[in-house]
Amino acid sequence: MPIPLLEAVATVGVGGIPYLPLLLKIGVVFGLLYLIKNYTAGATNPSERVLHSKVAIVTGGTSGVGAALVRELATRGCQLVLLVRHPLDDAFQAAWIEDLRATTGNELISAEHVDLASLHSVRQFATKWIDNKPARRLDLVILCGDECTPGIQRSIDGAERMMAVNYLSNFHLASILSPALRAQPADRDVRVITGMCASYMGGDLGELAQVEMKENKTKKTLSMKDFTPSKIYGTTKLALLTFCLALQKHLTETGRGDGLPTNIRVLCVDPGWTRTPGMRRYLTRGTLWGLFLYLVTYPFWWLILKSPEQGAQSFLWAVTEASLAGHGQAKDGFLVKECQVVPIQRPEVHNEETQKRLWETTEETIQSLEKESAIRRTKEKKAQENATNTNVKTESGNTQPGSTQPGSRRSKRIKAIEHNGEVKKE
């Protein structure tokens, strides 16, 4: 076929090619699709730095961007401690970790059960980690745990769920682990990396930073009145960005116990619009009809959204880029997007008074939620113990008042009375 086609072009010209207009149109369409997909795929991390001997704590590392990042870190030799929501004996989760070890050739991958929707669960892990002498090695704390729900939900502690998972748990974990981070040798490159989203530009920090506390008896929570789910999500990201800036400033100004400048860098990473389970849940609004429409329009979402592997590139750049190493040069945290540092679009987050007010309000909120949660757990434990004691007494023969045991004098007397009654009747 090529020979007749070349002969037609040589004798007749380009117009001799059959279906030429149609082929040109198809070529233009596919060319445009390629250019759009290449643009929406984002930047690629150029660094090939290996991470042998590095130790990283990772949240949200079992799905979406976090899972892609974890796989790349494991391939580069990083020792990983994954904080997972499901129990450690979950069969699917255990199989997933074994597969990750096998495919990456890295056996230094472990998991710890931590539910980010429970402040008590976060505290249990963090205090266990820092309660060690000498201090454990810790190079990276990567907070990819994220939740975007289409409706208003509550966490275990009673806080709004997105606020609890996206902000309060990250604040709590980073605050408790800060002694372990400061205890690392001065020549070690230590980084705290949190997941960010462009929705922070639509957040309303004023309602949270003005110490507008809602008090009902002993319950105190950050004020979230008249907030839609989208507004709550954006506000959690804006609050997290403000906290990261305040944490970096605090670490830089405080320094280390040996008088040397801090070697900790706090970074916020925006992976861009990515096809993650959270994004899918948000687009479908958590409904079957939404899922149906998502499947029908999937080619469009495939075109404009990144894959998890593409979204993980900015996280990987924040982990491996040598110029971001923290040795006291900068006082503010960095916002990373498309494998480069970008300016923050909400300048009020740099305000020290706003940072201080938000920090204090968050600490009071966490303290109040933990106190109420502890009281509730104590009541539930006592109720369970009472129920268990009652069942044990019943099974062991210590029956309730008015009942009789087989073979006792009371039961024998009752049988004798019943027997005499039957004799009299006869």
Q: Which amino acid is at 243?
A: F
What whole-number distance in Å separates Cα of residue 224 and Cα of residue 213?
9
For CATH 3.40.50.720, list the domain ranges present in the chain.
55-271+308-373
Domain 55-271+308-373 CATH assignment equals 3.40.50.620: no
Q: What is the mean pLDDT of residues 86-111?
A: 91
Q: What is the pLDDT of residues 172-220, one digit of tens each?
A: 999 999 988 988 888 888 999 999 988 888 887 765 544 333 444 444 4
Q: What is the pLDDT of residues 241-272, one digit of tens each?
A: 999 999 988 888 877 777 788 889 999 999 98
**Cα–Cα distances in angstroms (integers) from residue 345 to residues 232, 290, 335, in the given order:** 18, 32, 10
What whole-number distance in Å separates Cα of residue 330 and Cα of residue 325?
10
Confidence band, pLDDT 50/70/90 cuts, at residue 418: low
Residue 231: DSSP 8-state: H
Q: What is the pLDDT of residues 40-54, one digit of tens each?
A: 888 888 988 899 989
Task: Determine the Cα angle at 199 with ends 324 and 161, to 5°.
Answer: 100
Q: What are phi and psi of 69, to 5 degrees?
A: -65, -45
Buried b vs exposed e over 360-380: b needs ≥16 C-beta within 10 Å? ebbeebbebbbebbeeeeeee
Q: What is the pTM of this model?
A: 0.80
Catalytic residues: 237
Q: What is the pLDDT of residues 18-32, one digit of tens each?
A: 667 777 888 888 899
Q: Which amino acid is at 187?
A: D
Q: With the C-alpha atoms ordered 113, 114, 117, 122, is the resulting torsion angle positive or negative?
A: positive
Count of CB atoms within 10 A of residue 286's CB? 13
SS3 220: strand
